[in-house]
Amino acid sequence: MTDQQPMRVAGTAVVLRDGAAGLETLLLRRPDRGSFAGAWVFPGGRVDPGDEADAGTETDAARAAAARETFEEAGIGIRDLTPLSCWTPPAEQPVKYRTWFFLARFAEGDVRANPGEIEQAVWLPPAQAFEKHAAGELTLFPPTWMTLRFLLPHTTVDDALAAAGDLGLFATRMGSDERGRFVMWDGDEHYPDRPGDPGARHRLLMGVLPWEYLRR
């Protein structure tokens, strides 16, 4: 049976600042319950009616939601929200949100984790977040991991914002092989909707740590 439930929309803010040792991003740890139990994520959440009030497009509404949720979850203001990617979850996910990711510049305020929603908030260089995930110290979901990977070569907020070019579209599908489970996207040989050429890869291997991204 085809799932006729409409796809809900959400906005996520990849909040950036220039730290003493280079670029840093804000990561929040969710409580040990719910869809993102114990995971480290960027601030964000679903689009509410108030976010749509003055929005001309879905992207505008998601941008408003990302800014609002960042203030609600972490108590800080952000600016320069720049679209980076849009993620559609796999069919296996019971609650589905099409989520827009925006790079954002930290503007003002002191980070205060909202009790009940957020257990911990930290500023981390992307490389350090990668290392902690590879060591099993952080739980990440593929969109967060891939976004951190995008940030790795950038040393300043200006650099990262300037690199946000064509919108990345990631309609995720699940798979598994002898190496374990993976997620894949448009262009992979085994992608069900638009398969690529024989041998083509566009996937994230998640069977063992560290995860491995393949694109060829």
What percent of the chain clears pLDDT 90, i.e. is strictly above it?
A: 86
151 and 209 in a single domain? The answer is no
What pLDDT does 5 receive? 60
Nearest to 141 by CA among 108, 177, 101, 112: 101
193 and 136 assigned to the same domain: no
Q: Give the number of domains in the chain.
A: 2
Give the amino acid at 19. G
Please write the tens of the pLDDT for every residue from 7-48: 899 999 999 999 998 999 999 999 988 677 889 999 999 999
The CATH number assigned to the domain holding 103 equals 3.90.79.10
Do 113 and 180 lie in one domain? The reply is no
- Is residue 202 within 8 Å of residue 184, measured between CB atoms? yes
| Whether residue 200 sits in one domain with residue 130 | no
pLDDT, one tens digit per residue, over 35-84 is: 778 899 999 999 999 999 989 999 999 999 999 999 999 999 999 999 99
Per-residue pLDDT, 1:
35
pLDDT at 124 exceeding the cut of 70? yes
pLDDT at residue 91, rounded to an integer: 84
Residue 63 lies in a domain: yes
Bridge partner list, 16: 25, 105
Domain that holds residue 193: 174-216
Contacts of 186 (CB under 8 A, 6+ apart): 169, 171, 193, 194, 196, 202
Tell me the backbone φ, ψ of residue 107, rounded to 5 degrees. -115, -50
Say whether both 187 and 161 belong to one domain: no
Instruction: Provide the whole-model pTM.
Output: 0.94
